[in-house]
Amino acid sequence: MYRLNIYIGTGAVLLALVGLFLWIPQDTGTGLIVRVRRQVSIGDALAPTIAFTLLAIGGALLLIERRKHSSTDVMLAPFLHTGALVAVIILGLLLMRHAGPGFLLVAEWFGATDTEYRLLRETFPWKYIGYFLGGVAIIGGMASLSAGRLQARTVLIAGVVTIGLVALVDVPFDDLLLPPNGDY
Amino acid sequence: MQPLDYIAAGIQAVIFGPAAFELLGVPVPLTLVMVFAGVVTGILVGATPGLAGPMAMAISLPILISFFGYNVEALLPVLGFLIGIMKGATLGGAVPAILFNTPGTPDAYMTTLDGYPLTKKGQSRKALKVAHLSSVSGDTFSDIALFVCAPFVALMVERHLDFPEKTALLILSLSFIAAVIGGSPGKGLISVALGLIAVFIGGGEDFYPRLSLGTDALAGGFSIMTAILGVLIVGAVLKEYEDLWHRSNLSGTCERIVDNGDQRLTRAEILRIAPYIGQSSIVGTIIGALPGIGTTLAAALGYQLGRARHERRRPEGAPAFGEGAIEGVAATEAANSSVSGSNLIPVLGLGIPGNAAAVFIILATDSIGGFTPGPSVFRFSESVVNTELVLVFGLFTAMLFANLVNWTFGGAFMRAATVMVRAPKRTLLPVVLLLTFTAVYAQEPSMESLWFTLGFGILGYLMRKVDMSPLPFVIAFVLGGSLENSARQAFSATGGDPYFLFSSWISIFFLAGSVVTVVLALRQKRTDSTQA
């Protein structure tokens, strides 16, 4: 952990310096102190300045903390595995967002409908298409990635569980919108 | 209204509040139904390795708010459900620890040390009964401490602390949390700083939303729900999944449990474990009242003190701690359960959350409105009814009912919850993730919020990966706004005095305490590293 702490400490100090000398001065409307109509008050920059200063102090403390030189390696494989998991989640969210309108485009192409998605977002099956496909992709994808193989049984379980979640979350609550229907 | 009238009004708000349904013509109070459902959910969640009470609280909160709406009447049912989960999860955490040597919650790890050897001796049901009795006793003791102490803490704060002192107190709380959580003050401070930076993005009093990089997406800032659920839940799911990848799925390899001998807990055994329960309850309650320390340390301390006592008084032939002593299970379970009630002392008395569960209590009150935890809640006003105080006594009533459920049905639910140990983590964790996204979307119906949640989840994963606790981040995110507002008010109230934080001895004392806490933690760290 020793070398890792040096990386974290250095990163925190660098981020703090960027925040203090670039981000805050360039991206806040008022300074540390503001004088309006002869009244002095705290400006918008003060709180983030204190936060970035704390970040610098935390980073510096980490650099001076003595630690046992036991493990210096950070394994790459777990990061790659988690990276793949995040990719599956992103894919699932993209499906959730675009599957419903995408299917509608296809339906329009075949001349089945000419209604926009916003008007269909609370009707069956349109309200569930994105959530169902995105949910199956997230649950089935993550479970398959963890198991190291894609099985029809996993996808089936993901489908059943997602339908269960729809029944649990959407059916009893009239006002609750499933993703992505609130965006339309 | 007199204090007794407030207590009566609080009880009435629960008993005669909205009814969930009628049973033989008698209306069943909604709050009590929600508490009951919360306790059952909590026990099931606690019994499932990989899940934890705060996860269930996080997922259910936005859904409950969507269902009950943003009105004061929703407060007691929603808070009742959350408190039920909090209490049930502590009880349920002992189930896999005792039966399968797998702690359902981190604080139940010490329970495995004596619980699992008892199971191997064919005494699993007895071990579960000891865990049940100890856990519920500790919890009840802690609740009584809360009922007695919280009003006094609040009244003292209200009487002696003005804006500068309140600002200094918030700084002290954040320093304390940064210093004691995770074992590294440097990482604790970084975690606090990141939480503060995140909450300050898009905020401020100027027309231009600060630190927004000129984008619309950051102009509104990050919502509390996306940040907290992202860092706490999505981050935990990603880390759990990585751990699962490292080892085989423990939940799939359950051994068959065979009990033999008398499984009853005799009066002599109850008397034998009573001093351990009492000792651990006091330890856990004291630790719980300090923000940020949490149940794991309470369990470890309770266990160590129990072991010392057991070594002095152990009869010839009785098992030692670690070999299946029922005193070991009692000491641990009483200690970790007695944290939950006293944890609410800083929440209700000061408005400062001390652990993840308390964060969700604050989040619920913040989202619903009509109740702001803090010293003003305990103002016993005689001329005008303080509705917040009535709600507090309603909350206490709900807590007592949750204890009653735990005392009466808790044992049976614990035995029934053993089935949850077999739930496959590979499927369960993505379901939690999807439920989290659904819950966030219920509160903020925009895909942007899901992307932010995922972003905070990755941050939470990285923090766990480098052994940095995400809890200081979360608490700083929750308190950041109050800290800035309090400082602004203190600055104005002192006529723009730049040294307003040093305007009284109390605030100087709090500030000195902040520095001393971090320095002491740093020295302790260096001593530990030198000795290692």
- Sorted by sequence, the CB contacts under 8 Å of residue B427 that are 6+ apart come out as A139, A143, A154, A157, A158, A161
Tell me: pLDDT of B141 over 90.
yes
CB atoms near residue B88 (< 10 Å) = 32
Please state, in angstroms and rounded to a whole number, the distance separating the CA atoms of residues B390 and B11. Answer: 8
The count of C-alpha atoms lying within 13 angstroms of the C-alpha of B61, restricted to the half-sphere facing its C-beta, is 30
Query: In the beta sheet, which residues pair with residue B26?
Result: B23
Most B CBs within 10 Å: which of A85, A98, A173, as the mutation test of the B interface?
Answer: A85
Report CB contact under 8 Å: B447, A89: no
B466 touches chain A (CB under 8 A): yes
- Is the pLDDT reported for residue B258 higher than 80? no
* Count of H-run helices and E-run strands, chain B: 24, 2
Considering only CA atoms, which of B229, B224, B222, B223 is closest in space to residue B436?
B229
Residue B249, classed as helix, strand or coil, is coil
Chain A residues in contact with B192 (beta carbon < 8 A): 54, 58
Put residue B497 in one of left, alpha, beta given phi > 0 → left and psi -120 to 50 → alpha: beta
Confidence of residue B250 (pLDDT cuts 50, 70, 90): very low
Whether A78 contacts chain B with CB within 8 A: yes
pLDDT digits (tens, 9 = 90+) for A63-105: 887 555 444 456 777 888 899 999 999 999 999 999 999 999 9
* A89 inside 8 A of chain B by CB: yes
- Total domains, chain B: 1
Element (H, E) at A39: strand A39-42
Contact B347, B353 (CB under 8 A): yes
Q: Of B289, B197, B466, which Cα lies nearest the Cα of A62?
A: B466
Cβ contacts from A onto B, under 8 A: 214
Task: Kindly tell me if the per-residue pLDDT of A5 is higher than 80.
Answer: yes
d(CA B311, CA B342): 29
Report chain B's mean pLDDT, rounded to a whole number: 87
Mean pLDDT, residues B159-171 taken together: 86
Residues of B in contact with A61 (CB under 8 A): 185-186, 189, 518, 522
Q: Which residues pair with B27 in a beta bridge?
A: B22
Q: Do A66 and B526 touch (CB under 8 A)?
A: yes
- Residue-wise pLDDT for B52-90, tens only, equals 888 899 888 888 888 888 888 889 999 999 999 999 998
Render pLDDT for A30-48 as a digit per residue (tens, 0 to 9).
Answer: 889 888 777 888 999 999 9
Q: At what angle do helices B326-337 and B75-92 cross, to 10 degrees?
A: 160
**A41–B contact, CB cutoff 8 A:** yes
Structure-model confidence comparison of residues A74 and B30, the more confident one: B30
Measured in angstroms, the CA of B272 and the nearest CA of chain A are apart by 43
Which residue among A29, A42, A67 places its CB closest to the CB of B208? A29
pLDDT digits (tens, 9 = 90+) for B217-239: 899 899 988 998 899 889 989 98
Q: Assess whether the previous peptide bond of B77 is cis (omega < 30° from 0).
A: no
A148 at B interface, C-beta within 8 A: no
Q: What is the rounded average pLDDT of the residues B227-253?
A: 78
Q: Tell me the residue range of the domain where B499 lies.
A: 3-18+25-531
Does the beta carbon of B184 lie under 8 angstroms from any beta carbon of chain A? yes
Backbone angles phi and psi of B340, in degrees to 5:
-60, -40
Q: What is the DSSP letter of B73?
A: G
Taking only the tens place, the pLDDT of each residue in B272-301 is 999 999 999 999 998 888 776 667 778 888
More confident residue, B405 or B250: B405
The pLDDT, as a whole number, for residue B496 is: 83
Could you report the predicted ipTM of this complex, rounded to two decimals? 0.93
Confirm or reject contact between A19 and chain B (CB < 8 A). Answer: yes
Q: How many other C-beta atoms can be found within 10 angstroms of the C-beta atom of residue A100?
A: 27
Output the pLDDT for position B467: 87
Q: State the Rg of chain B over Cα.
A: 23
Give the list of residues 6+ apart from residue B428 with CB closer than 8 angstroms, or none. Answer: B48, B50, B51
Asked if the C-beta of A167 comes within 8 angstroms of chain B's C-beta atoms, the answer is no
Element (H, E) at A98: helix A76-109
Q: Are A155 and A145 in contact (CB under 8 A)?
A: no
CB contact under 8 A, B427 and A139: yes
Residue A141, pLDDT above cutoff 90: yes
Q: What is the mean pLDDT of residues B124-141?
A: 93
Partner-chain contact B483 A42, CB within 8 Å? no
Q: Is A75 left (phi over 0), alpha (psi -120 to 50) or beta?
A: beta
Query: For the segment B300-328, what is each residue's pLDDT rounded down to a tens digit?
Result: 889 989 999 998 888 888 888 988 899 99
What residues in A contact B456, CB-CB < 8 Å? none
pLDDT for the residue numbered A2: 65
**Three-class SS state of B372:** coil
* pLDDT for position B241: 85
Q: Please say if the pLDDT value at position B436 is more than 70.
A: yes
Nearest by CB to residue A89, choosing from B204, B212, B454, is B454
Tally Cβ neighbours within 10 Å of residue B144: 16
Confidence of residue A183 (pLDDT cuts 50, 70, 90): confident
User: A172 CB near a chain B CB, below 8 Å?
Assistant: yes
Closest of B508, B485, B475, B479 to residue B177, by C-alpha:
B475
pLDDT of B486-518, one tens digit each?
899 888 888 888 888 888 899 999 999 999 988
Q: How many CB atoms lie under 10 A from the CB of residue A97?
A: 18
Do A81 and B468 make contact, defined as CB atoms within 8 angstroms? Answer: no
Please say whether the beta carbons of A44 and B204 come within 8 A.
yes
CB spacing of A179 vs B437 below 8 angstroms: yes
Chain A residues inside the 8 Å CB shell of B428: none
Of A61, A143, A165, the CB nearest to B186: A61
Q: At what angle do helices B326-337 and B295-313 cross, to 10 degrees?
A: 150
- Chain B positions in Cβ-Cβ contact with residue A67 (cut-off 8 Å): 529
Residue-level pLDDT at A133: 96
Rounded distance, CA A115 to CA A105, Å?
Answer: 10
User: Is the CB of B499 inside 8 Å of chain A's CB atoms?
Assistant: no
- Over residues A137-143, the mean pLDDT reads 93
Is B469's pLDDT higher than 90? no
Name the minimum distance, in Å, from the CA of A24 to any CA of chain B: 7
Interchain pair B207, A182: CB under 8 A: no
Q: Do the Cβ atoms of A41 and B480 come within 8 Å?
A: no
- What's the CA dihedral at A124, A126, A130, A135 to 10 degrees? 10
* Antiparallel, parallel or unpaired: β A39-42 and B19-23: unpaired
Q: Enter the tokens of residue B517.
A: 């806490």
Q: Do the chains contact at A65 and B437, CB–CB below 8 Å?
A: no
Rounded distance between C-alpha atoms, residue B305 and residue B314, angstroms: 14
Chain A positions touching B451 (Cβ under 8 A) are 93
CB B211 within 8 A of CB A79: no
pLDDT the model gives residue A70:
45
The reply to whether residue B187 touches residue A161, judged by beta carbons under 8 angstroms, is no
B70 and B369 Cβ atoms separated by less than 8 Å: yes
Q: Which residue has the higher pLDDT, B306 or B49?
A: B306
pLDDT in tens, B350-389: 888 877 888 889 889 888 888 888 888 888 888 888 889 9
Cβ contact B46:B106 at 8 Å: no
Question: Which amino acid does the sequence have at B473?
Answer: F
Work out the average pLDDT over B408-430.
Answer: 83
pLDDT of residue B255: 58
Q: What is the 3-state secondary structure (H, E, C) of B191-230?
A: HHHHHHHHHHCCCCCCCCCCCCCCCHHHHCCCCHHHHHHH
pLDDT range class, residue B182, cuts 50, 70, 90: low
What is the chain A residue with the closest CA to B435? Answer: A165
Nearest CA of chain A to the CA of B63: how many Å? 8
Contact B190 A180 (CB under 8 A): no
Report the DSSP beta bridge partners of residue A36.
A39
Written as six digits, the tokens of B95 are 């189930």
The C-alpha atoms of residue A2 and residue A73 are separated, in whole angstroms, by 9
Chain A residue closest in CA terms to B213:
A27
In the three-class reduction of DSSP (H, G, I as helix; E, B as strand; rest coil), residue B304 is classed as helix
User: How far apart are the C-alpha atoms of B423 and B406, rounded to whole Å?
Assistant: 23
Residue A107 forms contact with B (CB below 8 Å)? no
Contact B417, B54 (CB under 8 A): no
Q: Is B479 on the interface with A (CB under 8 A)?
A: no
